[in-house]
Structure 1
Amino acid sequence: MGLSASKRVSGTLNRSSEFTTACDAAFEESLTLAQHASTVVHPYQLLAAAVRLHRSLIAGGVSPLVRTWVPDPPSRSQVDKAYRSVVSRRRSPQSEESSGVGKEEFKSLAVEVFTDAVISNAGNALIRRVPIGVAGIAGIGMATRSGKDLVGTAIGVYALGVVGSIYLSLIG
C-alpha cells in the first residue's frame, strides 16, 4: 500500500490549493483581528484560527477528507501539540516574534492538526467497526453451526475489507 496513511493525508492537504487558500485566509483573518499589531499569529490565537479554518473547509466543501473525517473543530490539545511540533522544527531561534507562527508555519501547523485529526478519527472508526462486525459474523456462525474455518475466514475478510475501505477513503 506504499506510504503510511498519515503521510498520504498530509501530502493530500499540502497539495490542495483549496486547503492552502483556506489557510491563508484564516492566517490573514487572525492578523486582522489582532489589528495587524504583529506579522505572526500568536499561540493564544491558534485555536480560534484552527476553528475558523475548520469552518471554512467544511462550509466550502473544500476537502472531502476533512468533511468526512473531521466533523468537529480541532481541540486545544491538538493545536498545542502541533504548535510544539512546528516550533521544534525551527532551524534558528527568532526574535521576539518567535512566540508566534508566520504564514508558512501556520500552514504546516494546520496540516499537522488536520492530519492528526483525520488519522485519529479514522482509527476510532476502525476500532468501532471491526469488533461489531466480528461479533455479528461470529454470532451468525454459531447460529448456523458453520465450521470455525469458514467463520475465521469470514472474519478475516471482513476485517481486511473495513481496513481497506478506511485506508482508501484517506488517500482518495
Structure 2
Amino acid sequence: MGISPSKRVKSSLSNSPEFDSACNSTFSHCLSLTEHGFDGVFPFQLATASDHLYQTLHDDAAPHPLVLKWVSSPPTRSQVDSALRAVTRSDSDSETTLRSPQFKQWAVELFAGAVVANARKDLMVRVPIGVAGIAGLGAASRSGKDLVGTAIGVYALGVAAAVYLGLQ
C-alpha cells in the first residue's frame, strides 16, 4: 500500500486548502485574543486553538472530509500537548510562541494523530466483530477450518484496506 497512514494523512492535511484556511483563521483568532501584542500563539492558547480549529473544520461552509469522517470530537488536552512536543522537539531554540508556519505544523500533527488514532479504533472494533461472525457461521455450518481461516483473513485484509483507503 506504500506510504504509512500517518504520513498519508499529514500529506492530505498539509496540501488541503480547507485545512490551510482553517489554520490561518485560527491563528488570527488566537492573535486577536492577545490583541496582536505578540507575533505568535502561546502554548497555553493551544487547547482553545484546537477547539476553534475543530469547529472551523466541521463548519458547513468548508468542512474537511478527513476530519469530518474520523474526528468526532475536539482533540484532548493530551493530544494537544503531544503534538506540541512533536513540533518543538525538532527546534533547537525553544520559543515561547508558535509562529504561523510552526502553528500549521502543530495543527497538522494534532489532527493527523487524531485521525489515525480514530481509524485504528475503528479497525480494532470492526475486525473482531467480523471475525467472530465468520467463525460463528463456520462453526454452525461445520465448514472446514481452512475455509473459515481463509474467510477471516480475507475479511480482515479487506477491512484494513478499506480503512487505509478512507484516509485520503
Does the alignment reach a TM-score above 0.5? yes
Instruction: Give yes or no for the alignment of 1:140 onto 2:141.
Output: no
Whichever residue aligns with residue 7 of structure 1, its letter is K
2:87 aligns with 86
1:149 aligns with 146
Structure with greater helix percent: 1
> Number of residues paired by the alignment?
167
Instruction: Give yes or no for the alignment of 1:131 onto 2:128.
Output: yes
Whichever residue aligns with residue 34 of structure 2, its letter is A
| Structure 2: gaps spanning 5 or more residues | none
Whichever residue aligns with residue 88 of structure 1, its letter is R
* CA displacement at 1:61 relative to structure 2: 4.4
Among all aligned residue pairs of Structure 1 and Structure 2, give the percentage whose two residues are the same amino acid: 50
Structure 2 length-normalised TM: 0.96
Kindly indicate whether the alpha-carbon contact (under 8 Å) linking 1:61 and 1:67 is maintained by their aligned counterparts in 2: no
The DSSP-based 3-state class of the residue aligned with 2:166 is: helix
| Structure 1: gaps spanning 5 or more residues | none
1:164 aligns with 161
RMSD: 1.0
2:40 aligns with 40
Whichever residue aligns with residue 118 of structure 2, its letter is N
* CA displacement at 1:103 relative to structure 2: 0.5
The DSSP-based 3-state class of the residue aligned with 1:99 is: coil
Kindly indicate whether the alpha-carbon contact (under 8 Å) linking 2:50 and 2:74 is maintained by their aligned counterparts in 1: yes
Cα deviation 1:117-168 (Å, max 9, x = unaligned): 0110000111111001000000011111111111111101110110000000
Structure 1 length-normalised TM: 0.94
Equivalences for residues 65-80 of structure 1 within 5 A: 65-80=66-81
Moved over 3 A (4+): none
